Amino acid sequence: MTTPSDRLTDLEIRNAEQEHTIEELSGQVAEQWKVIERLQKKVDALAERFLELEDQAAPDIPVTRPPHW
């Protein structure tokens, strides 16, 4: 039979383990956020570069009426 003291000790141990797990997860989330921000900056830079290259490579097509008009 478990005594209230044993039960309280078990709950304190479980609480300490959960606090440790939460701290670890918080650290991992913070690291992932840094990675996401870095990747977002790279994607933005690549998108801007792509648009610049697309503008340079695209020929200017004159606006004309179709032949059937």
Q: Mind listing the pLDDT tens digit for each residue in 11-45?
A: 999 999 999 999 999 999 999 999 999 999 999 99
Total domain count, the chain:
1
Domain with 40, as residue range(s), is 13-52
Report the alpha-carbon angle 45-46-52, nearest 5. Answer: 90
In a domain, 32, yes or no: yes
In a domain, 21, yes or no: yes
Residue 2 φ/ψ, nearest 5 degrees: -90, 140
Distance CA 62, CA 10 (A): 79
In a domain, 47, yes or no: yes
In the chain, the amino acid numbered 64 is: T
In a domain, 7, yes or no: no
Distance CA 42, CA 37 (A): 9
Q: DSSP 3-state assignment of 57?
A: helix
Model-level pTM?
0.64
In a domain, 3, yes or no: no
In a domain, 28, yes or no: yes
